[in-house]
Amino acid sequence: MRSNALVLAVVCSLLAVGLGTIGSTPVFALESPAIQSGNVTEAEIETETETGTKNHSAIIKVYPNLPVPQNRGEYVVVTLAQPGNWTLTDGVSTVSLPRNHTGPIAVTRDPHLTQNITRYPVYETASRFRLSQDGETLTLKRDGKMVDKIAYDRATEGDRWHRNASQQWIPEGLTLRETVNTGPATVETFVLPDTPAQPIEPIATATDRVHIGAYTFESWTAAKALVEAHDRGANVSVLVDGNPVGGVSEQQKSVLDTLVAEGVTVHVLGGDRSRFRFHHPKYAIADDNAVVLTENWKPAGTGGKESRGWGVRIENNRTANELYTVYHHDTGWKDTVSWETYRTQIDTTEQPVAAGEFETAHRAKKHTADQVSVLTAPGNAEDAVVKMLRSAEDEVLIMQPQLASPQQRMVRAAVAAAKRGVDVKILLSDAWYSNEENNAIAAHMNRQADAGNYPLAVRVDEPNGRYGKIHAKGLVVDNTTIVGSLNWNDNSARENREVAVQIESAEVATYYRSVFAADWQTDKHDERTVRYVEGGVLILIGLIAIGTIAYAHRSIIFAE
C-alpha cells in the first residue's frame, strides 16, 4: 500500500491521458498473382480473429512500419474462405487477390523479405504497394461487395495491428499465444493469507529448475528458498517488472541484490520499447510443478500478511513446461536486461511492509482436474474468460480488486450471463484507494439488475479481520475455475503480460465456491443492501472516476 500523496499523484496523472488520431492514406497497385508457400495452421487462423476463421473471410493483420529502410517487407494478411473475385482496397487504389486461393495470405511488394518474417503464404503485388504508417482504412471485397473493413491508427515502428476482439497493436518482439491445454493433473488449491507456506513448498524441494515470473519480488522467505535451490544445483532465475507503479521499493532492491550476490539470475523487463505495459504475472516453475497465483511475491501477498488471494499448485510437467515457454519468450528480447545493469538506472522508494496476522480458515487441498489450460495476456486470456461466461449455465462467481467499467468486455459477458438467468455474484475490494469507485460501480450494476429483473449481485467486501483486503482475481463458472493475475480491465487484458490457468474440475470449483461464500458473508448488510444509494451522489462520483480510469495508462490496482 502506498501513501495518499503518491496515490494522488498517480490519479492526477490519469486525468492527463489523451487520445490518438487517424492519419493519411497510401497507394496500392496491381500485379499478376505470385504466391510463395508459408506455414500457418488452421488453429492459428482461429486465434487471429473472431471473424477471420475457415468459415469467414477477413483482414486479420497489418504490419505497416517495419524497423528497416523504406519499410521493405510490409504486408497485410487476409484470409479467404472461398475462391472468387477478391480485391483489397484503401479507397483510392485496389489490389486483386488470387482467384483460386483459400485460407490466409500475406499481401506484400517484397515477398522475399516478407516470407522471412511471417509464416503465412506470401502474395506479391506491384512495387507501388504501400501501407500508411499514420493509419488508414482497408476494405476486402468479393465481386465488388464489401466483406470486411478495418481501420487502424498510427503505427509505432515494429508494431503489428492484430485483428481480434480489441483490434490491438502487437509490439515488436511479442508473439501472441494460443490457449494451451496441458491435460489432466493433480491440483492443490490454497488461499492467502491462510496458507503462506504453499507457494514456497515446491521451490523448497526443487533440484532441477526454479523460474519466477513476477511483477514485484520483495519476499525474503521466497528469496531464501531460491538461494537454497540454487545451492542444491538447480537453475534458478527471476523476472520482474522494471517500472512498477510506486517505483522499485528499497526492500525489493535489497532482496534482488542478495539474490544476485548468491548466484541467482535476475532479469528486469521494461524500457521505452517494452512489449508490455507491465509485466504483471505471479507464477513459479519448480521442477515439474507450476504455481500460479493472484498475489505478488511480497509480504502482503505470498507472505500472508494482508491480501486475500487465490493460488494453485499444478503437478504436471506439461503445465510447467508451457509456463517455461512463456518465461523464455519474455526474457529473450531486447527489453529485458540484467538486474545488475538496471539497478544503476533507477532510484528506489521507501514503501511500507505489510505485517498483519490472520487465522487459517481455509486449508490447502489436493484435487483431480480433468483439464488444465494455460492462459496469457495479451492474446487469449480475455477471450477465454468471455467464452467461459458465455457457456455458463448455473452460476458465476467473480472476485476482483475492482472493475474498470460496466462496458468492459468481460463485465458485459458476465451481465449477459445473468440476463440469461445464470446466478452471478461479483465481490470487489474495499481497499481505501478503490472503495469509492467500487461502491459506485456496485450500486450502478445492482440498480441495473433490479430494473432488468435478472440475478446479478455486486458487493464491496467487508473483511472483518479475516484478511486485509481482496487482491484475488478469481472466476468460477459452474465446474470451471480461472486463477491468475488477470484484472478485469483493458490494460490488463490487452497490454500487460498476465498469466492464468483454467481448471476444469468440479472439486476445484467447489473449493473456491466455499471460499467465495465465506468471503461474501457480511455482518452489516444483507445481499441486496448495496443496491440502494441515497440521492445517487456516490454513483455519479464513482462513474466519473471509472471513466477516467478507463483511459488510464497505470491503474492503482497494479501497485500491488
Helices (H), 466-505: 490-494
Half-sphere exposure of 399 (CA within 13 A, CB side): 28
Check for a shared fold between 180-345 and 371-559.
yes
Dump the DSSP string for 160-204.
EEE-STT-EEE-TT------EEEEEEEEEEEEETT-TTTTTHHHH
Residue 66 · residue 158 · CB < 8 Å: yes
Residues 319, 281 contacting (CB under 8 angstroms): no
The CATH number for 180-345, chosen from 3.30.310.80, 3.40.30.10, 1.10.3720.10, 3.30.870.10, is 3.30.870.10
What are the angstrom distances between the C-alpha of 11 and each of 16, 18, 175, 344, 470? 9, 14, 32, 28, 21
Closest CA to 513 of 321, 365, 319: 365
- pLDDT of amino acid 505: 99
Q: Alpha carbon of 304 to those of 202, 299, 300, 301, 460: distances in Å?
A: 17, 6, 6, 6, 21
Going from the C-alpha of 452 to that of each of 418, 448, 460, 546, the distances in angstroms are 10, 6, 21, 22
Dump the DSSP string for 51-98. S-STT--EEEEEE---SSGGGTT-EEEEEESS-S-EEEE-SS-EEEPP
* Spatial CA neighbour of 371 closest among 481, 258, 236: 481
pLDDT for 154:
86
Return phi, psi of residue 402, to 5°: -165, 165
Among 58-62, 138-142, 236-240, the range with the most confident prediction by mean pLDDT is 236-240
- Cβ atoms 198, 190 nearer than 8 A: yes
Adjacent-strand bridge partners of 122: 36, 106
pLDDT in tens, 446-487: 999 999 999 999 999 999 999 999 999 999 999 999 999 999
pLDDT digit string, tens, across residues 397-436: 999 999 989 999 999 999 999 999 999 999 999 999 999 9
Q: Please give the share of the chain, as a percent, with pLDDT higher than 90.
A: 71
Cell of 152: 487502424
Tell me, what's the pLDDT at 71? 85
pLDDT band at 545 (very low <50, low <70, confident <90, very high): very low
In angstroms, the CA 131 to CA 63 distance is 8
Asked whether 543 and 444 are in contact (CB, 8 A), the reply is yes
> pLDDT tens, 340-382?
999 999 999 999 999 999 999 999 999 999 999 999 999 999 9
Q: Is the pLDDT of residue 27 over 60?
A: no
> In this predicted structure, what is the pLDDT of residue 523?
52
Reply yes or no on whether the pLDDT at 124 is more than 50: yes
pLDDT at 127: 61
Beta strands at 160-162 and 103-108: parallel, antiparallel or unpaired:
unpaired
Amino acid at 454: Y
What is the average pLDDT across 535-555? 39
Pick the closest to residue 486 from 385, 414, 416, 387 (CA basis).
385
Please list the alpha-helical segments (H only) found in 332-434.
339-342, 381-391, 409-419
Q: What is the pLDDT of residue 167?
A: 62
pLDDT value at position 553? 35
Residue 29 has pLDDT above 60, yes or no: no
Q: Cβ(511)–Cβ(518) under 8 Å? A: no
pTM: 0.79
Question: How are beta strands 122-124 and 103-108 bridged, if at all?
Answer: parallel
Q: What angle (nearest 5°) sits at the alpha carbon of residue 192, between those of residues 280 and 183?
A: 65
Query: What does R_g of the chain's alpha carbons equal in angstroms?
Result: 24
CATH of domain 371-559: 3.30.870.10
Q: What is the largest CA-CA distance in the chain?
A: 74
Least trusted range by pLDDT, from 36-40, 257-261, 507-511: 36-40
How far apart CA 418 and CA 425 sit, in angstroms, is 9
Q: Is the pLDDT of residue 49 over 60?
A: no
- At 112 the three-state DSSP class reads helix
CA terminus-to-terminus distance, the chain: 7
Across 175-180, average pLDDT: 93
Confidence label for 10 from pLDDT (cuts 50, 70 and 90): very low
Confidence of residue 33 (pLDDT cuts 50, 70, 90): very low
Residue type, 555: S
- Please count the other Cβ atoms lying within 10 Å of the Cβ belonging to residue 204: 17
Burial class (CB in 10 A: 0-12, 13-18, 19+), 74: buried
Q: 489432466: which residue's cell?
A: 184
Q: How far apart are CA 132 and CA 141, in angstroms?
A: 20
Report strand pairing: 423-428 vs 395-400: parallel
CA dihedral 378, 382, 383, 385 (to 10 degrees): 150
**Using one digit for the tens of pLDDT, what is the confidence trace for 276-325?**
999 999 999 999 999 999 999 999 999 999 999 999 999 999 999 999 99
Amino acid sitting at position 90: D
DSSP assignment string, 417-460: HHHTT-EEEEEE---TTTHHHHHHHHHHHHHHHHHHT--EEEEE
- pLDDT surpassing 50 at residue 45: no
Tell me, what DSSP letter sits at residue 543? H
Please state the domain extents for the chain: 35-170, 180-345, 371-559
In 81-144, the DSSP E strands lie at: 86-89, 94-96, 103-108, 122-124, 136-142
548, pLDDT greater than 80: no
Higher pLDDT, residue 372 or 70: 372
Query: What is the predicted pLDDT for the residue at 72?
Result: 87
Under the banding of pLDDT at 50, 70 and 90, the label for residue 559 is very low
What is the per-residue pLDDT for 273?
83
CB atoms within 10 A of CB 289: 24
